[in-house]
Amino acid sequence: MGSVQRAMRLLESVAEHEHGAPAKQLARETGLALPTAYHLLRTLVHEGYLRRDKGLFFLGEAAERLSSSGAEQKRRSTVVEALAHWRDLIGVPVYYAQYRNGEIEVLCVSDSPGNPAVEEWADFRETGHAHAIGQCLLAQLDDEARRDHLDRYPVQSITPYTVRDGHSLLRRLERTARMEPVTERQEYALGTVCAAVPITLGNAAATMAISLPAHQADRLPAATQQLQEEIGRLMGSLAISISI
């Protein structure tokens, strides 16, 4: 355990020196005897956590991978915490999704026993035409990208309320303002109404969405507006995190 702690102190010390540091300086900063510091530094270099160049030590690829992974986890944690906060504040399940590499990807869902999420009984990726998340993402794409998606995933009836054909869907999407929330009522799942708020960061298409039981449909407009306001309030801090 002592060796691990000393090695971690060395890694932390190296990380503070953007332009590298020699062994003697690192030993002094960490309070280690020079022979001990040399031994641990050689081991860390061998394992890829440090690299040595002209007598100076720098973070190695293994340490950088850890740092990158940790940053990604932190960004994801920020999104998870925001969704959980909105779930409790508004009293609805909250979803986060992106359109990436030609696919609809639901990246995070926050629900509770009292407010369960919609069951994915038909693949969300293949039924984007039928749910608010998919419609919101498709509305943010250009016409060519929309048609490409629908060529790969043609419109099909999911419930009696589902849009009937691709032409009808495209007309609906064309009438949807770029930053306007999208709502659907029982098009994907009977007994459920949903709304999705568009989020556009550069060329990325993303959305935060909510769902409610159909008998609570009268709550949908106010809940959607509240979600929009909350997203606007946290957008600055979420901007980097939601690009995961």
At 116-164, the pLDDT tens digits run: 999 999 999 999 999 999 999 999 999 999 999 999 999 999 999 999 9
The burial class, CB within 10 Å (0-12 / 13-18 / 19+), for 187 is: buried
Of the pLDDT bands very low, low, confident and very high (cuts 50, 70, 90), residue 5 is confident
pTM of the prediction?
A: 0.69
- Plot region of 68 (φ>0 → left; ψ -120 to 50 → alpha; else → beta): alpha
What's the pLDDT at 158?
Answer: 94
Whether pLDDT at 188 is above 90? yes
